[in-house]
Structure 1
Amino acid sequence: MTPRIEEIKEKKLIGVSCHMSISNNKTGKLWKGFRQRVSEISHMVSSDSISLQYYPEDYFTYFDPRRNFVKWAAVEVSKETDIPKGMQCLKVPAGRYAVFEYKGPSNDSGIFQYIYNEWLPQSLYRLGHRPHFEVLGEKYKNNDPNSEEEIWIPIDLF
């Protein structure tokens, strides 16, 4: 699977976040609460949802499934005004991303093992320290083998 490489401008997101780890995964609870309130958000760029992870800088160097990171359930907005109570704004910095078109269940960790253990070490890039995110569009069906999403991995040239 070969990704496309994209340079993005800063993105503005509005959503909810929580600290979690792989071994203490709170993704379902996070998304359930967000989905109930997404209609309160103004200035949405599209109907796509964004699942975003912000890892500590050395997270992948010293990987431990019990180590915390911040996970977001969000949507992209054109301006960060009228933020609903209990939600926050996050600015994703401009930068280069490898974008993988993934088809399959979202609970299959094999795609991430491929990206981090096979594709990235053989590429001309190193992992960038910016948020990692998935764009969940109209073809996304949680944990369905026919689900489709885009996986955005931050990269920098060596």
Structure 2
Amino acid sequence: MLQPKIETIRAKKLMGKKIQMSLADNKTRALFQSFMPSRHQIKNKVNADVICMQVYNTSLNFKDFTLNTVHQKWAAVEVTDFNLVPDDMEIFTLQGGMYAVFLYKGTPAAFGPTFNYIFNTWLPASAYEVDNRPHFEILGEKYKNDDPESEEEIWVPIRLKQPL
């Protein structure tokens, strides 16, 4: 099955839009419909990639994650600085750290088995545990929205397991 690459990144400056939601009350489509037409207003993008980020409550234990767990969802791009922020955009500094990066190919609707594999198979068998930092996906040039040939990178924040 999927084997991730382990990457350590520096902090990233992000600019975009956010919304509060849960998986049961999924507002991702509305968020991106609001963000995508206005992203051209951001003049200092690092690249053309779009970042879809989830910011969870710091007290969340992922064993307790449900369809009703409320979190912040972001549609954003990485920027060089926060000097020019369009009126309808917000800023976020993504803390650096270690991530397990999985390449996902398929539609968002078919992601469930991959999510289950990452959190219920790969993670428990690995030397890592989920770290309490934002999770994100990079929607790069191979991302095609609802196309089964679409590709994106799934970035899961990790740290070495703490001894019992």
**1:66-145 equivalent positions in 2, closer than 5 A:** 66-108=68-110, 109-145=112-148
1:147 — aligned with what? 150
Aligned-pair identity in percent equals 46
2:40 — aligned with what? 39
1:61 — aligned with what? 63
Superimposed CA distance per residue, residues 56-86 of structure 1 (whole angstroms, 9 cap, x where no aligned partner) = 2315132221121000000001111111102
Structure 2 Cα separation of the partners of residues 33 and 139 of structure 1: 22
Structure 2 Cα separation of the partners of residues 140 and 111 of structure 1: 17
Which letter maps to 2:129? R
Q: Secondary structure at the match of 1:61?
A: helix
Q: Secondary structure at the match of 1:67?
A: coil
Change (3 A) 1:105 1:133: same
Which letter maps to 2:54? Q
Structure 2 Cα separation of the partners of residues 23 and 96 of structure 1: 29
8 Å CA contact 1:104, 1:145 repeated in 2: yes
8 Å CA contact 1:106, 1:147 repeated in 2: no
Structure with the largest fraction of helix: 2
Give the structure-2-normalised TM-score: 0.93
Structure 1 residue 107 displacement after superposition: 2.0
Q: Kindly report structure 1 stretches of 4+ aligned residues shifted beyond 2 Å.
A: none
Structure 1 residue 106 displacement after superposition: 1.9
Counting matched residue pairs gives 158
1:4 — aligned with what? 5
Structure 1 Cα separation of the partners of residues 115 and 56 of structure 2: 15
Change (3 A) 1:59 1:87: farther
Structure 2 Cα separation of the partners of residues 48 and 63 of structure 1: 28
